[in-house]
Structure 1
């Protein structure tokens, strides 16, 4: 036995998480047994058994006056008794404990001495096994005092929760009626919820935030260090968050009908979460859903108009320069400056089960939303529009990048995307940083995409040509490196010319005639010889350097060169043949023909 009147036991922390969650789900409407033991009216009360059930919730009280009390027992009751109904059959107490535990009774509080001298050991063991607290009341404790004090405390708690919920509701309604958006919601909630509040997309990209400590923003346990998104997949939803030992983070889905629009997240400052927090967060989520639905409806109308006009600009049908500049300015876009056009094309949808309604918004909507967030952070006056399978961005640069001087680097010499001239210039760095953010999701399930960007242009008239450059860079980048490729138009080199040949059969014919037996063989020896040839040509026939890169002995490479010349001709002495061979190898790399 243990005196817990002045020591509110933490034994509830040792319960299985499912039991903690079940008890916590009702705590908002009552108080735990451990909390009740801390009240003055129960001072001196001892726990005889069932200590592991002290987190059971008391929502009502009852007094046992008849032996057949079971029909009158309700879940979450504190049952007070002197044992009088069972004074002649104390052995029945063991069976009674088992029946009461099955009915989710909160606890049994008993006064011994007058009718029952002591409790059977079997009863106490049964209570321990089932986690049903058996409380020994002091002789000075009157049942009416217990009833009055505990009911008053329960009602006061419920009133406080209702008052807090009403205040949250009033704040949220005021924010909506004032025309506020998600920022207005998040700005007003931290003081009421005692923590930082965020609204995010379904995969955790922060749409609005307030009160989140800087230490949490920089914590990789909460936020992805690359994309900056909140790690929604790392935290439980709703009341399941209370299953954790020290819960500080709760998230609730923002649903509108069957559509999942995101999450509303609470990060408490130093305290544990409680069920009331989740209840208030659900109200906030409903309000956020209204705001998001409203904003989406407005954005759909505006986006359609903006997308139509931008399509005219990209097609060269928007009018003269003055009209384009003025009309773009009315839409919040600035195109009268050095610009780069970026095209991000969605890849094919991966195979798998069809998502149920509400699991995901259409891929292109979420794709457009992610790009809009990332672009607006860097250039609020950029033009951006989403179409069925691509997002087009026209954004500014401080200045056109200078062309690097000196000998060509290996990426340029080899014609590879992502390592050439634009790979290290201002547009290349900018686009790659944005792609890293857009693609840095672990919980959203976005489809892969390829990205291309144009040369820098300095007038609106050049935008259509820049758009075609960006589209070609995205398409060729995907052919070269698959989904997820990022390529600038100036990176493409000879691949740009190859991509303009529409006849695949002609390219295959050229490749077969030039490479002969090395063209399509997929055996190990053929692939090895083809790789040797490519590295040798990329290094300008430098035998020593090629041998080093391939980890061959010098004489071994000389032997291979002789074998290649017998198969392909004297390419070491014939520059035209070398050019043909290099082009044929580029066709293989680009078209995936091997």
Structure 2
């Protein structure tokens, strides 16, 4: 309760504020009665102190120190019984209290300090009891609302009716989820709400307010948490003052119920993602018994067989020395964010995940080149978004156009090959398109057994060695035997490259300067990529 409310209690009849009247809206949560010389160090914030001033009767100037100390600690007010031990409050004390806006209440000598303490505590307790009852009733009402299946939109409408102002719910990236009024414009709120790393629990989980210049309006933001993750923000289109406990409790109860609803919705999303990812895994691994089964199962995810698709595979660049679990959690968060952003694309786009990779299927129409350019621009947009929101790089490999869904299995392998080609160069944040080479087409005609035999003969001695030798050999040939460029792409010293190449020549029994040797190696490396060795 406020200082101004305390003055209307029967126990304070005849009392009045003699200084610091501008602070009568200060909140009182505690009451203390004390006359000790070192009283200041025992006081708490938002506490009302009533005293006879016995300890300063011979040194009234000590009241200056007491007022300063109480104001510094955030105390609510000071009540002094005059005409008992202290006949008059010093002018200096009154002047200081006025400057600080710290209320000093003059208590008549007939007033009982015990009655003041008891009545004030009783009123505070009654108010807290009413607030607790309100919180319980509100929570019950909102819980019943959700349990009956009315959803978040109806809940926000009920909350807006209670507060008499519009409210909205945004996700952790400041994208709209629901609002009390569908006509509300929410896009301009993103800058005031979203902070990098906003999906983690902040040190201060209390609400805050901000104002926007264009509409000259103040908004209050209440965080919504699910476990240890900030799942979103509840936006109230009005400032909520810290003294307005009733509104705060109502909003907090709504936020609690919303968090449970978001947990439920997230569990359903996770289940849907798992089913979808299992389908794509079985599809690309050839686990289905017939094409009809693939087509029928694909319809569950709105995938049409007769539509053409581009397949893109993305991988987030590993950062630092995080544990596997932590890395996977961060990667999953990034892929979930990408999935949410796909609704903004004009092309129908489907996301699947497999290990540490995400697979994007773009359903297209029109010319292949035009759609390929759109896919590249969409992936660049995703890269910029991930960089801005998470500070991470993501690389993509893109397939050729698959004429129907059944051909996406081949497109998946092409996108995987394009991604691996880009990763071998050591670049980050690239978009690598698959390019079918004439020699690859010829190799596909050759029986697989013959390809394996050629590969074994060409690179057999390197097969049991460190994989870095093969990688170095591959990059060396891709850079047209430029040692400096090879070292640059592999992030090693040129002497290391020279040593590795000499080791390769020793194991292969031939010089890399020999055209016949390098041609066989190039073919063997292509066979390795094609057969997935």
Establish whether TM, by shorter chain, passes 0.5.
yes
Q: Normalized against structure 1, the TM-score is what?
A: 0.58
Q: How does 1:150-165 map to 2 (within 5 A)?
A: 154=124, 158=128, 161-162=131-132, 164-165=134-135
Structure 1 134/367 Cα, relative in aligned 2: closer, same or farther at 3 Å? Answer: same
The answer as to whether partners of 1:204 and 1:230 remain within 8 angstroms in 2 is no
- C-alpha distance in structure 2 between counterparts of 1:223 and 1:392, whole Å: 30
- C-alpha distance in structure 2 between counterparts of 1:521 and 1:504, whole Å: 12
The reply to whether residue 315 of structure 1 matches residue 285 of structure 2 is yes
The answer as to whether partners of 2:17 and 2:106 remain within 8 angstroms in 1 is yes
Quote the residue 1:458 is aligned against.
Answer: 403
Quote the residue 2:367 is aligned against.
Answer: 401
**Displacement of 1:328 after TM fit?**
1.7
Quote the residue 1:270 is aligned against.
Answer: 238
- C-alpha distance in structure 2 between counterparts of 1:223 and 1:252, whole Å: 10
- C-alpha distance in structure 1 between counterparts of 2:132 and 2:409, whole Å: 59
Q: Normalized against structure 2, the TM-score is what?
A: 0.64
Residue aligned with 1:308, SS: helix
Structure 1 343/255 Cα, relative in aligned 2: closer, same or farther at 3 Å? Answer: same
User: How many residues in Structure 1 have an aligned counterpart in Structure 2?
Assistant: 455
**Displacement of 1:390 after TM fit?**
0.8
Quote the residue 1:373 is aligned against.
Answer: 340
- C-alpha distance in structure 2 between counterparts of 1:210 and 1:487, whole Å: 45
Q: Which residue of 225, 236, 249 maps to 2:220?
A: 249
Quote the residue 1:422 is aligned against.
Answer: 372
**Displacement of 1:166 after TM fit?**
3.2
Quote the residue 2:420 is aligned against.
Answer: 475
**Displacement of 1:385 after TM fit?**
2.1
Deviations 1:327-384 (A, max 9, x none): 1223454444232223221222x115669x9x99812321331132123454897543
- C-alpha distance in structure 2 between counterparts of 1:511 and 1:467, whole Å: 23
Deviations 1:115-135 (A, max 9, x none): 643213565588689985323
**Displacement of 1:483 after TM fit?**
2.5
**Displacement of 1:451 after TM fit?**
2.0
Q: Which residue of 203, 208, 218 maps to 2:188?
A: 218
- C-alpha distance in structure 1 between counterparts of 2:197 and 2:487, whole Å: 48
Quote the residue 1:554 is aligned against.
Answer: none
**Displacement of 1:463 after TM fit?**
0.9
The reply to whether residue 57 of structure 1 matches residue 17 of structure 2 is no
Moved more, 84-93 or 458-467: 84-93
Moved more, 83-92 or 470-479: 83-92
Q: How does 1:468-547 map to 2 (within 5 A)?
A: 468-478=413-423, 482-489=427-434, 503-504=470-471, 506-507=473-474, 510=477
The answer as to whether partners of 1:242 and 1:273 remain within 8 angstroms in 2 is no
**Displacement of 1:469 after TM fit?**
2.4
The answer as to whether partners of 2:142 and 2:254 remain within 8 angstroms in 1 is yes
Quote the residue 2:504 is aligned against.
Answer: none
Residue aligned with 1:248, SS: strand
- C-alpha distance in structure 2 between counterparts of 1:255 and 1:474, whole Å: 35
- C-alpha distance in structure 1 between counterparts of 2:147 and 2:251, whole Å: 19
**Displacement of 1:113 after TM fit?**
5.5
Q: Unmatched 5+ residue regions in structure 1?
A: 1-29, 405-420, 523-579, 584-594
Moved more, 383-392 or 66-75: 66-75
Quote the residue 2:205 is aligned against.
Answer: 238
The reply to whether residue 351 of structure 1 matches residue 320 of structure 2 is yes
Quote the residue 1:387 is aligned against.
Answer: 354
The reply to whether residue 168 of structure 1 matches residue 138 of structure 2 is yes
The answer as to whether partners of 1:338 and 1:459 remain within 8 angstroms in 2 is yes
**Displacement of 1:450 after TM fit?**
1.0
Deviations 1:400-427 (A, max 9, x none): 32547xxxxxxxxxxxxxxxx933xx33
**Displacement of 1:198 after TM fit?**
1.9
**Displacement of 1:464 after TM fit?**
0.6
**Displacement of 1:317 after TM fit?**
3.6
Deviations 1:208-247 (A, max 9, x none): 55559855522563367xxx99977999843373799x97
Residue aligned with 2:191, SS: coil
Query: Which structure would you say has the larger RCO, counting Cα contacts within 8 Å and 6 or more residues apart?
Result: 1
Residue aligned with 1:274, SS: coil
- C-alpha distance in structure 2 between counterparts of 1:380 and 1:44, whole Å: 73
Quote the residue 1:449 is aligned against.
Answer: 394
- RMSD over aligned Cα, in angstroms? 5.5
- C-alpha distance in structure 1 between counterparts of 2:5 and 2:113, whole Å: 18
- C-alpha distance in structure 1 between counterparts of 2:413 and 2:349, whole Å: 18
Structure 1 79/507 Cα, relative in aligned 2: closer, same or farther at 3 Å? Answer: closer
- C-alpha distance in structure 2 between counterparts of 1:333 and 1:475, whole Å: 27
- C-alpha distance in structure 1 between counterparts of 2:124 and 2:347, whole Å: 52
Deviations 1:38-84 (A, max 9, x none): 99999994452596x666421355677x7899699876443456x48
Q: Which residue of 145, 148, 151 maps to 1:178?
A: 148
Structure 1 206/129 Cα, relative in aligned 2: closer, same or farther at 3 Å? Answer: same
- C-alpha distance in structure 2 between counterparts of 1:283 and 1:432, whole Å: 41
The answer as to whether partners of 2:175 and 2:190 remain within 8 angstroms in 1 is no
